[in-house]
Chain A
Amino acid sequence: MRTLIVTYFFVLALSMPAYAQQWQQVAQQVTTVAGTVQENVRQTESIIAQERREISAEKNALQDSIDVRQKEFSTLKAQYDALLQQEKVLQEELAEQAHELKTIDGTIRTAAKQARDYFHESLTTPEFPQRETVLAEVLQPEKFPGLEGIQNLLTLLLEELQVSGTVARRTGSFIGTDGKDKTGDLLRIGSFTMAYRLPDGSLGFLRPGNDASTLVAVQGAPGWKLSGLMREYFEGKGTVFPVDISNGAAFTRLAQDQKGIYEWLSAGGLLVWPIILVGIAALVLVVERFYSLSKIRGNSDRNMATILGMVDNGKWKECRQFCREQSMYPTCRIIGHTLKYLGNTREIIENAFQEGLLKELPMLERFLPTLNVLAAVAPLLGLLGTVTGMINTFQIITVYGTGDPRMMSGGISEALVTTQLGLAVAVPIMILHHILERRVDKIIGDMEEKGTGFAVALMKLGKIKTREELDAAA
């Protein structure tokens, strides 16, 4: 269009001067030019139209392409989402599987640890020293044992199961009761009893040591009867073998129970000795008393009958002689003493008799008060020991606290042993003292009666003068 206008104004300017002359020509020319221009315009328009067509075709093509791509994209996106979903599911599955695996691993480790503890205390372990390495492999930290490890563990356990049902004899070494290494015949019955026989013939039971693969002899020898059975079995003669199902605990307990009297006493500390001294002194006194009193009692009735018979017959000389001969008996001594005063008044004779009795009393009652004091002192000494022991205990508590009862048991056993001993000494002394006292009372009563009987016998014979007679004689 612009070209059209420019061209028009150019044609106008050109044609202006020659307007007059050449108007016709010009008009013709203009028409030609106009025609050309129109032609050009047409041409241009057609070109434009064509280009427009081309562009829109191109645009359509591009639009199609975009649509196709878009479609493709959405398809792929859906696919991607689905894959993500799948991945998530698989991840969960994986986690689950890993947990299971961990559980299995833990179970195997626990089983292996249990097996280690069991084998550690098993009597069969010394026969299979390779157990330790197998277990160590299974128990390696941060490493899954694997199928091989599990199988090895299983084999060990099955082996133990099998071995625990057998009786095995072999020659081997162990730690003896004295702590030295010994070598001898070993006999294992199942997994609970093991015994040894040394070449010198000594027998005993064994228990597993502190570390696996050693055996330790149990303290305390089996009795004579058990030894016989065991020896017969070792020599292949017997079919019976005593078993110790407690793994040596019973023997240890037995050895504890058979604590000697010396250990018992030494647990009581220093105060035990005075108590024992008191007991021995009391025993000596009691034996002495029983001996001398038993001599007195038996003969007094018979002697008295003899004496009275002699008195009745007036055999004074024989009577004196008899009393001298039997002077170990207090009754005879008293009567012998009284006989010296024959012919005096009754009062004098009675006084003489009482004097004789008073002389005898200390001999009869000798040591009885001492015995009484000893019976009272023994439990007091025991009580003193109790207090001493408790003081020791509390001193230990101040130093070590109450954490370990074993620390305190020394003082407590001192306290208890002294109390026990004090009572054990006092009770028999008390009873024996009572018996002796009764016996002495009886003897004294007996003597008094005999004395009165004697006086009466004299009186009947008229050998006792009344005061008037005596005065008359004087």
Chain B
Amino acid sequence: MQLHSLAERMADYFQAGGDIMLPLFVLSLIMWTLAIVKSFRFMRERRREATPERSLDLFRGESSVCKAGLAQWQWDILSQYMEQRCEDQDLNRDMLDAMRMRQEFKAMRYIGTILILAAVAPLLGLLGTVTGMITTFDVISQFGTGNARALASGISEALVTTQSGLVVAVPGLLLGGFLFQRARKLRGRMELFCIRLQHQTEGMAR
């Protein structure tokens, strides 16, 4: 019963917001999905991260155990590097850089999207405001200012969409910023990992 009335109220709220509520809702859904997926991934990776020495040890053992024991990016860099590396240290470094760039790109994935969606949400809210005001003025041009009930529907449309846009945007921006910090730290760790990996393997024969 409680849930039912909540759903009803949500439906009312949606109805009051007009057409803009649907894209806004879809947008917030995508944004939150991405944010949740991304933060879960970050958390899992962080737990499985290992030092370069330990990863090398693991790599020398069973490769399937190694894959399960390391973070995804560590495994990717390690396996590719060990497979492709050659005697030339400079080339090795360049290769590692290229691999790291790819992993960094993966780490930053979706964060830009989350931020852009959070930036777009208030714009959509503003669009809803303007649409609501147009409805209001249409009503004024038809019935004059006397019909308060008709006026209120347009105004509520304007306000509800603005509100929803902000409600979507503010946590989105916070989440995006938080994830951005996480990704930047991860990039720092990747760089460190690569440098130490190279040092470790310097004198190693293939």
Contact = CB atoms under 8 A, between A and B. Distances in A.
A448 B101 contact: yes
A445 B105 CA distance: 8
Interface in B129-181: 130-131, 133-134, 137-138, 140-142, 144-145
A35 interface: no
Contacts of A442: 105
B90 interface: yes
B72 to A, nearest CB: 17
A434 interface: yes
A101 interface: no
A287 interface: no
Interface in A314-359: 346, 350
Interface in A412-438: 412-413, 416-417, 419-420, 423-424, 426-427, 430-431, 434, 437-438
Nearest to A426: B123
| Main DSSP-derived SS at the A contact region | helix
A6 B189 CA distance: 185
A374 interface: no
Interface string B96-124: 01110110010000001100110110011
A434 B86 contact: no
Contact of B137 (A379, A416, A419): A416
Interface string A271-308: 00000000000000000000000000000000000000
B95 interface: yes
B86 A459 contact: yes
A218 interface: no
Given A409-B141, A416-B133, A417-B134, A423 B126 contact: yes
Residue among B95, B130, B140 with the most chain A CB within 10 A?
B130
Contacts of B126: 419, 423
Contacts of A431: 116-117, 120
A382 to B, nearest CB: 9
Contact of A427 (B105, B120, B145): B120
A445 B144 CA distance: 61
B56 interface: no
A292 B124 CA distance: 29
A452 B105 CA distance: 17
A430 B137 contact: no
Contacts of B124: 423, 427
A419 B102 CA distance: 41
Given A350-B94, A434-B113, A424 B127 contact: yes
A346 B92 CA distance: 12
Contacts of A423: 123-124, 126-127, 130
A459 B127 contact: no
Contacts of A346: 88, 90-91
B84 interface: yes
A94 interface: no
A449 interface: yes
A181 to B, nearest CB: 28
Interface in A227-273: 253, 256
A405 interface: yes
A406 B105 contact: no
Contact of B130 (A419, A438, A446): A419
A416 B90 CA distance: 61
Nearest to B27: A431
A100 interface: no
A424 B142 CA distance: 26
A438 B112 contact: yes
Nearest to B113: A434
Nearest to A441: B105
Interface in B45-96: 84-86, 88, 90-91, 94-95
Contacts of A438: 112-113
A419 B112 CA distance: 26
Contact of A460 (B86, B90, B97, B123): B86
Nearest to A448: B98
A430 B140 contact: no
A406 B145 CA distance: 9
Contacts of A451: 98
Interface in A390-418: 405-406, 409, 412-413, 416-417
Contacts of A256: 138, 142
Contacts of A364: none
A459 B131 CA distance: 63
B146 to A, nearest CB: 10
A272 to B, nearest CB: 13
A449 B99 contact: yes
A456 interface: yes
Given A350-B94, A430-B119, A434-B112, A409 B137 contact: yes
A453 B84 CA distance: 8
B140 A452 contact: no
Contacts of B117: 431
- Which of A346, A350, A434, A446 gathers the greatest number of chain B CB atoms within 10 Å? A434
B70 to A, nearest CB: 20
23 contacts: A346-B90, A405-B145, A406-B141, A409-B141, A412-B133, A412-B137, A413-B137, A413-B138, A416-B133, A416-B134, A416-B137, A420-B134, A424-B127, A427-B120, A434-B116, A442-B105, A445-B101, A446-B102, A449-B101, A453-B84, A453-B98, A456-B95, A459-B91
Closest 10 A/B residue pairs (Cβ): A452-B98, A423-B127, A420-B130, A409-B141, A434-B116, A449-B98, A419-B130, A416-B134, A452-B95, A409-B137
Given A350-B94, A406-B144, A426-B123, 20 more contacts: A405-B140, A405-B144, A406-B140, A409-B141, A416-B137, A423-B127, A430-B116, A430-B119, A430-B120, A434-B113, A441-B105, A445-B101, A445-B102, A445-B105, A452-B94, A452-B95, A452-B98, A456-B84, A456-B86, A456-B91
